[in-house]
Amino acid sequence: MSKSETHRLHAGRRVAVVTPVLDDWRCFQSLVAAIDALAHRIGRVSVFAVDDGSAEPVDPDELVPVSRHLEQVAVIHLACNLGHQRAIAVGLAQVAAQGGFDMVIVADSDGEDQPEEFLSLIAQHDRQPGAVIVAQRHKRSEGYVFRRCYSTYKGLFRLLTGKVIDFGNFCLIPAGQLDRLLHMAELWNHLAATIVRSRVAIVKVPTVRGVRYAGRSRMNLVSLVTHGLSAISVFSDFLFVRLLLFCGIAAVGAGALGAAALVIRMSTDLAVPGWATTVTGIAAVILFQAITLLGVATFMMLSNRSSAPVVPARQALHYVRKTVVIETPCQTAPLPIAARN
């Protein structure tokens, strides 16, 4: 393909960038500037910032003072703080409601997901247009403790679910796959795990994690644990089956231990006072706990299966308080009603 044909292809391509923001408006300003500088190499780019209940007021006129090539910048104000993953789900639902985009790129607003990497994701998309392109970190910038905690999270996820998850929110979703993800209730809890569960083709692109534009990360131990549990919840049925097997093995083992203690006690003359009673009691406690755990897990699974799930495609936009569209010099056509609210 010639350079002129490639340029025409890029010029007609519409790309939406969804990024959650919680008081990090200085970082978002830098992100918009970085995307704006690359927009001519990407296509017709629109940025959707999901304001996840920020406490700091934001002046729309100050957010995009340098934007010259972006088609639009929209700030989606949520009625309350939903958390990082659900804010992303609302942003994706807003993009789908507006329509007309060829792909959606999900990225953090703090600069750790570098806009320069958008080009690598898009290049891979051009080679495999039906796949979800995810950024896989081959070099990280976090401290030693965070890296160890993250490795532990990945190991536990694989142990409890039997699945591998080695990427985060930074990804490119083709328009053809967006509706599929939005109709999965699991998207309300965790984007990356939902992509794994969706059975769509996944292509991993090695990327380097960037450095924050400003301020400090809000990620702490509580956030990390919550994030990990949200990912595991997407595969709660897999976890239930593994828990069922574990309880079954524990119950059989406890029963065999108790039976062995009784047989030895009745058929031998071992003179250790009370050992058979102690061993049988421990086995009975293990058996009781295994049955109790199995019963609780079963009732919780049945309860979850009978309750109505939150489907982002239908319910996510209920949390939008208002959407502010910031006009840019590149904006040439009126926006659909869905984008204005």
Confidence of residue 338 (pLDDT cuts 50, 70, 90): very low
Higher pLDDT, 147 or 322: 322
Q: Point out the least confidently predicted range of 49-58, 142-151, 278-287.
A: 142-151
Q: According to the model, what pLDDT value does residue 21 have?
A: 92
- Checking if the pLDDT of 318 tops 70, the result is yes
The residue-averaged pLDDT of 286-294 equals: 80
Confidence of residue 1 (pLDDT cuts 50, 70, 90): very low
- Checking if the pLDDT of 204 tops 90, the result is yes
| Burial (CB count within 10 angstroms: exposed 0-12, middle 13-18, buried 19+), residue 148 | exposed
Positive or negative CA dihedral for 194, 196, 200, 202? positive
Confidence of residue 2 (pLDDT cuts 50, 70, 90): very low
The residue-averaged pLDDT of 40-56 equals: 90
Mean pLDDT of the chain: 82
The structure's pTM equals: 0.80
Q: How far apart are CA 255 and CA 160, in angstroms?
A: 25
CB 311 within 8 A of CB 89: no
Q: According to the model, what pLDDT value does residue 340 have?
A: 43
Q: How far apart are CA 45 and CA 73, in angstroms?
A: 9
Higher pLDDT, 101 or 255: 101
With H, G, I as helix, E, B as strand and everything else as coil, classify residue 294: helix
- Checking if the pLDDT of 328 tops 70, the result is no
